Structures are given as C-alpha cells and as structure tokens.
Amino acid sequence: MYRLARSWLFRRDPERAHDLTMAALGKAGGFARVLAHRPPPCPVEVMGLPLPNPIGLAAGLDKDGEAIDGLAALGFGFLELGTVTPRPQPGNPQPRMFRVPEQQALVNRMGFNNAGVDHLVGQIQKARFRGVIGVNIGKNKDTPNERAVDDYVHCLRQAFAVASYITVNVSSPNTAGLRDLQAGDAMYALLSDLKTEAEALARKHDRRVPMAVKVAPDQSPESLEALVSAINRAAPDGVIATNTTVDKSALGDDPVADEAGGLSGAPLLERANEILAELRGQLDDRIDLIGVGGITRGEDAAAKVQLGARAVQIYSGLIYRGPELLGEAGHAAADYLQR
C-alpha cells in the first residue's frame, strides 16, 4: 500500500510530498490505521518514562504538531515534535530538502522552519494522544549564541506543562553557529542553566519533566571528549545521538552531495552508531541514550539497542520504507530485548 503512495509522492518535490503526507495524516486517523504496521508490545523505560515500545519518531518530521494523532496511530512508542523556536520563522529558502533514493538518504537544510513554541503547545493540547511526547527546542536564527540560553529557557517554560520530555537541540547543521553550543564550556553552561530552570518549573507544576540533549555525529575525538565531560557534569536525563551529518562524502558524485545541509538515512548509520557506542562507553550510566540515524531495516534498530540505546527514533527510513519499517524495527528490537 505504501509502495503505491510512495511512487506517487516521489514524483513530487520532497517538501511538497512531506506536506501532503502530513496533511493526510493530520486529517484522517483512519488512513494511518490502514497503513499501520504496529510494533509489538515491548514495554521499556527511558529517562523514567514508560514506553509501550522503543520505536520513536525523530524530531523534524512533525515540527509543528500537525499530525500527532495520525502519527500515533502508526504505532510509535513515542513522538518527538519540533524543533520549535520562541518565535515563528520561515527557515531557509526552498528547495531545502533533497532525496537520494538509491542510497535511501536525504539532505536537508530546512533551518528550523516552524510556527513557534506557542502554536505547538496548542496542537499538543488539542491532540487526543496520551502517550509520550518529547518537545525538541532550539533558538531563533536571529538570536546570537550569547543569548541562546534565553531562547531555550523560553521554550522550556512554554512547553513544560505539555511535554513528557524536553530535547535541547544543539546539533542542527542548518542554523549558523548552533553546533558551537556543544563545545565543552558552552554545553555545560547551557545545560546547567536549563536544569536549574527545569527544577524550578517542576516545583511550580508539581511534575518533573526529563531533559535530553541531541548531539551531532561530526565530532573529533577531542570535541567528543569535551562534550562527554560537559554532559557528565551537567547530568541531563538523556542524550539523543545523532542529528544529521555534514559529511556527504558517502554520496560520491551524486549532485545532491554538493547541496548545503545535513545528510540522513542509510549512509549515516555507521557514523551514528560509532558515536552511540562511544557515548555509552563514556557517559555516566544514569544518562539514558536514544539512538537515531540511518535506521532503514529492523536489524538497524536492534543494533542501536545492542549498542546501549534504550529506545530509537526514525525519520528518513520512514520516507523510504513507510510505516512497514515501524513494525520491522519494533519486532527486531523486541527480539533482542526479550531474548
């Protein structure tokens, strides 16, 4: 069924195909249920949150929460929405999303196009889904890094009451300078300020909301070491590894390799897994890992769990494989976990 839809969608511009799919999922829950290949029940706990299965939706697909119930009907164990910023912003000029079907890969330079955090909060409040929803937060393009913390704190405050967890996104390659926030001291300062704020909010709302940080795969051994030490000191509840990579050499002489932006999908798997394994080896055991990057087959999801991820997320694989991938990933992860 998805194969038919895919051949129609792939004849359209990637962003148009994305918008059409989201509109269909947003309007017709029944449509999602027909397409669903739900993962089997496989309860896991991540950052203290109980999930019915470990297969999640990665950030960026539903930035504005337009299709929460439709996506939930596909059987995801949890959804991550956003990235949202304090104020709405248009993102980069189009075209800004490119397919490389032969490699099950995408390159994007969306640039945090989103309708702002308040819009997303309203969408979550309107949704019927009662499962785990992560809200991924970022900074507006025109906010300088010196004031980035204010943007993250603003989003944290606005989203706190409706989010199951918050993801601090410092790893998108498409907002100039954003990844500098991963540098040791900057990372520690940002995370510890946000933690202090989250603790105050927890007292006010009488409810704790765990915090994860999402990291980039493009790390030298030195930058990874500094990042790990900052994260261990700041002690967030989780780390999401990884975002897209700026290394597009895997695309060879495909013209898409010359497009600015981040690469995702199958060619990212190996690098994302290396970072995941490094992080599991070096991070404090109390910090949970969520593995993302390059899952296009069931065994890719199982490999991330084997490397120490308590849950996984998918984006590009969903574009190429459709909802079938959820069932496949869910079965493979469950087989490994229930062995």
| Identity of the residue, 13 or 199, whose beta carbon is nearer to ligand FMN in the bound complex | 13
Task: Identify the active-site residue in 164, 171, 172, 316.
Answer: 172
List the one residue from 21, 83, 85, 158 that touches ligand FMN (CB under 6 A): 83
| Identity of the residue, 74 or 295, whose beta carbon is nearer to ligand FMN in the bound complex | 295
In angstroms, what is the minimal distance from the CB of 287 to ligand FMN?
Answer: 18
Nearest to residue 100, comparing CAs of 297, 258, 241, 273?
Answer: 258
Which residues, numbered 224-253, are part of the site for ligand FMN (CB under 6 A)?
243-244
Segment contacting ligand FMN (CB under 6 A): 37-45, 55-63, 149-157, 322-330?
A: 55-63
DSSP string spanning 275-310? HHHHHHHHS-TTSEEEEES---SHHHHHHHHHTT-S
Using CA atoms of 10, 11, 16, 22 in order, give the dihedral in degrees to the nearest 10.
-40
| Identity of the residue, 234 or 250, whose beta carbon is nearer to ligand FMN in the bound complex | 250
User: How many Å apart are CA 118 and CA 295, to the nearest integer?
Assistant: 31
| Identity of the residue, 114 or 336, whose beta carbon is nearer to ligand FMN in the bound complex | 114
User: Does residue 220 have an active-site annotation?
Assistant: no
List the one residue from 53, 89, 164, 169 that touches ligand FMN (CB under 6 A): 169
194 lies in the binding site for ligand FMN (CB under 6 A) = no
| Identity of the residue, 79 or 287, whose beta carbon is nearer to ligand FMN in the bound complex | 79
Q: What are the structure tokens assigned to 97, written together?
A: 């999303």
Q: Omega before 95 cis (within 30°)?
A: yes
Which residues, numbered 263-322, are part of the site for ligand FMN (CB under 6 A)?
264-265, 268, 292-295, 314-317
Helices assigned H by DSSP within the chain: 2-9, 14-27, 29-35, 68-73, 117-126, 148-159, 184-205, 221-234, 269-282, 298-306, 316-321, 324-337
How is the beta sheet containing 97-100 ordered, strand by strand? 97-100, 105-108, 262-265
| Identity of the residue, 158 or 264, whose beta carbon is nearer to ligand FMN in the bound complex | 264
Residue nearest to ligand FMN (CB): 60
Site size for ligand FMN (CB under 6 A): 27
Segment contacting ligand FMN (CB under 6 A): 3-11, 31-39, 52-60, 142-150?
A: 52-60
The vertex-50 CA angle with 45 and 52, nearest 5°, equals: 100
Which residues, numbered 131-150, are part of the site for ligand FMN (CB under 6 A)?
136
| Identity of the residue, 154 or 242, whose beta carbon is nearer to ligand FMN in the bound complex | 242
Segment contacting ligand FMN (CB under 6 A): 54-62, 191-199, 203-211, 325-333?
A: 54-62
DSSP string spanning 140-181? -TTS-GGGHHHHHHHHHHHHTTT-SEEEEE---TTSTTGGGG
97 lies in the binding site for ligand FMN (CB under 6 A) = yes
**Backbone phi, psi, residue 292, to 5°:** -145, 145
In angstroms, what is the minimal distance from the CB of 106 to ligand FMN?
Answer: 4
Q: Omega before 175 cis (within 30°)?
A: no
60 lies in the binding site for ligand FMN (CB under 6 A) = yes
In angstroms, what is the minimal distance from the CB of 319 to ligand FMN?
Answer: 8
54 lies in the binding site for ligand FMN (CB under 6 A) = no
Residue with tokens 């907002």: 175
What are the residues whose beta carbons fall under 8 Å from the beta carbon of 244, sequence distance 6 or more? Answer: 108, 172, 173, 217, 261, 262, 263, 264, 268, 293
Q: What are the structure tokens assigned to 13, written together?
A: 């511009």
| Contact residues for ligand FMN, defined by CB under 6 A | 58-60, 63, 83, 97, 106, 108, 110, 112, 136, 169, 172, 214, 243-244, 264-265, 268, 292-295, 314-317
Q: Which residues are catalytic?
A: 172
